């Protein structure tokens, strides 16, 4: 069988199910932000309740990604994808029908859990079912869908809330998930290949508990700290997360020594190509989310541009990001190995010129220049994202697909919230009043710092490409898998 034909039957429908589920999960990370004024008005939600409605989803999603990926490895990725999609769909219905802020918060938390369960199976499904050039195309579509979901969430959220269909205000942003989710459940049931025989594996419940606590201690202050003014509890949580992660490593090593299946195969994190790639991707993700936050503040509060303008200038970024994945598939193998570091470098240069341009043209802002630079930045980040995905799926054996899916998705989430928490806080400190001069100064400083972060990420990405992968040893707590690929 040739590399070109190593793909499952009905591969188009299979990808429709997997990527459609991921699309829904990613849309709901951002779509609710557009609806917060309407939710506050109609449900009379307090500021704290509104914050939990937004962040409850993100927190649950980020904390459960690794656990969800391991559940896919233990119980079967198809079964867990379908279960996650069902939970997400029912929770979306509950969100749309919620009559009080508390009910909406609870439904959003459950919705985030369902999104984590289904999203963490997508990369596993691609890695297990596609090989060679077919996998490259699937990963290119993965990148395109990821970018499409970002802009779709902003656009459709505004349209649905503004339309006020039948006087339902914000509710359609959640209810629209229900018919789409039901259709995807049917498509998944019909076209996702059956899970292979599972071994007599047990879920590492101790690892789940300790990792969940460690991630919560890390993510919770980053999500809530900036708006809360960084009180003492946020710093205590961040300090406590380090010993919590050390505790988790100890738990996983004990599980491995007893012959059990750890929640994460720790030996993967001894592979330099994997570690360098994950850190590089976390850094580039941080620059992306930081830019989204800072750009909106800069344009709207600083330059007094409309929210519509602020959203439209990002279209070039999102469009270029989505194009880069399919383009990668057409490149020679030798070029593909350099795409991630070169793309990250292009991102860094675009950010640098955005900062320099703001300083040079102080007092004016060129829409054409900004849109062009954002397009180049999106192209660079998309190339870095696609190149890293290709690198990781070719570096890590298929039996470690659940581990890699959980690690990669969690890295993205942690990198994103870290970028907003860190650089968003610095920008607001530089431009506390929202004045034009302060906003331009803050934007210039932040984009130049983000450019430096991008250069460091490009170096790490290059190191990942240069290091040859090694096979994990049994001594490192990575017992052989007993399940077979679907």
Q: Which residues contact 287 (CB under 8 A, 6 or more apart)?
A: 347, 351, 381, 419, 450, 453, 454, 457
Rg, Å, the chain Cα set = 22
8 A C-beta contact, residue 231 and residue 237: no
- Cβ-based neighbours of 477, under 8 Å, separated by 6 or more: 252, 253, 255, 256, 257, 262, 265, 266, 267
Within a 10 A sphere around the Cβ of 433, how many other Cβ atoms? 9
Q: What is the mean pLDDT of residues 147-166?
A: 73
Could you give the CA distance from residue 470 to residue 427 in angstroms, rounded to a whole number?
Answer: 42
Quick one: what percent of the chain has pLDDT higher than 70?
Answer: 86
Residue 154 pLDDT > 60, yes or no?
yes
Smallest CA-to-CA distance from 322 within 388, 253, 379 is with 379
pLDDT in tens, 304-354: 877 667 767 777 887 888 777 667 667 766 667 788 899 999 999 999 988
- Among 207-216, 255-264, 448-457, whose mean pLDDT is lowest? 255-264
Q: Say if residue 25's pLDDT is above 50.
A: yes
What's the pLDDT at 387?
A: 85
- How does pLDDT run across 258-268, given as a tens digit for each residue? 877 788 888 88
In this predicted structure, the answer to whether residue 220 has a pLDDT above a threshold of 60 is: yes
Q: What pLDDT, on a 0 to 100 scale, did the predictor assign at position 104?
A: 94
Q: Which pLDDT score, from 0 to 100, does residue 123 have?
A: 85
Quick one: pLDDT at residue 163? Answer: 77
Q: Name the more confident of 250 and 32.
A: 250
**Top-confidence residue, 392 or 182:** 182
**What pLDDT sits at residue 187?**
93
With the CA atoms of 392, 397, 402 and 403 taken in that order, what torsion angle do they form, in degrees rounded to the nearest 10?
A: -70
d(CA 217, CA 270): 24
User: Is residue 411 scored above 60 in pLDDT?
Assistant: yes
pTM for the full predicted model: 0.79
Q: What average pLDDT does this structure show over 391-415? A: 83
Predicted confidence (pLDDT) at residue 135 exceeds the cutoff of 90: no
Backbone angles phi, psi at 427, to 5 degrees: -65, -45
Q: What pLDDT, on a 0 to 100 scale, did the predictor assign at position 42? A: 86
What is the chain's mean pLDDT, rounded? 82
Higher pLDDT, residue 54 or 477: 54
User: Has residue 116 got a pLDDT over 80?
Assistant: yes
Lowest mean pLDDT among 30-44, 194-208, 287-301, 309-323: 194-208
Q: What is the mean pLDDT of residues 182-197?
A: 87
How high is the pLDDT of residue 403?
83
């Amino acid at each position: 069988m040739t590399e070109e034909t190593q793909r499952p039957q009905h591969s188009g429908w299979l990808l429709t199910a997997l990527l459609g589920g991921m699309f829904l999960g990613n849309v709901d990370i951002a779509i609710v932000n557009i609806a917060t004024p309407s939710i506050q008005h109609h449900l009379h939600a307090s500021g704290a309740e509104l914050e939990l409605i937004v962040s409850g989803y993100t927190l649950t999603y980020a904390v459960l990604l690794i656990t969800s990926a391991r559940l896919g490895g233990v119980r079967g990725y198809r079964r867990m994808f379908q279960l996650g999609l069902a939970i997400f769909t029912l929770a979306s219905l509950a969100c749309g029908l919620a009559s009080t802020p508390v009910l909406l918060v609870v439904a959003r938390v459950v919705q985030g859990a369902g999104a984590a369960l289904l999203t963490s199976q997508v990369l596993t499904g691609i890695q297990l079912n596609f090989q060679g050039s077919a996998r490259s195309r699937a990963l290119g579509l993965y990148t395109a869908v990821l970018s499409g979901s970002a802009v779709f969430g902003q656009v459709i959220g505004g349209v649905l809330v503004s339309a006020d269909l039948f006087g339902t205000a914000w509710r359609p942003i959640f209810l629209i998930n229900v018919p789409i989710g039901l259709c995807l459940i049917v498509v998944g049931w019909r076209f996702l290949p059956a899970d292979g025989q599972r071994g007599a594996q047990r879920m590492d419940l101790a690892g789940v508990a300790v990792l969940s606590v460690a991630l919560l201690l890390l993510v919770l202050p980053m999500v809530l700290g900036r708006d809360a003014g960084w009180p003492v509890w946020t710093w205590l949580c961040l300090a406590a997360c380090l010993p919590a992660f050390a505790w988790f490593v100890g738990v996983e090593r004990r599980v491995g020594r007893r012959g059990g299946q750890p929640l994460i195969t720790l030996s993967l994190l001894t592979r330099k190509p994997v570690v360098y790639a994950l850190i590089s991707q976390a850094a580039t993700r941080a620059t992306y989310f930081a830019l989204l936050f800072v750009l909106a503040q800069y344009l709207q509060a600083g330059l007094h541009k409309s929210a519509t303008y602020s959203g439209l200038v990002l279209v070039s970024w999102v469009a270029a990001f989505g194009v880069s994945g399919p383009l990668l598939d057409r490149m020679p193998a030798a070029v593909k190995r350099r795409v991630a570091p070169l793309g990250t470098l292009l991102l860094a240069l675009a950010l640098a010129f955005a900062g320099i341009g703001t300083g040079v043209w102080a007092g004016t802002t060129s829409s054409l220049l900004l849109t062009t630079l954002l397009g180049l930045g999106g192209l660079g980040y998309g190339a870095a994202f696609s190149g890293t995905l290709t690198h990781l799926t070719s570096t890590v054996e298929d039996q470690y697909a659940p581990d890699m899916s959980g690690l990669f998705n969690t890295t993205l989430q942690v990198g994103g919230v870290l970028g907003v928490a860190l650089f968003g806080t610095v920008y607001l400190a530089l431009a506390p009043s929202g004045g034009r001069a302060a906003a331009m100064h803050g934007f210039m400083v932040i984009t130049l710092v983000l450019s430096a972060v991008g250069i460091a990420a490009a170096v790490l990405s290059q190191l990942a490409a240069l290091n040859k992968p090694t096979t994990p040893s049994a001594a490192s707590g990575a017992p052989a898998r007993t399940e077979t690929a679907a």
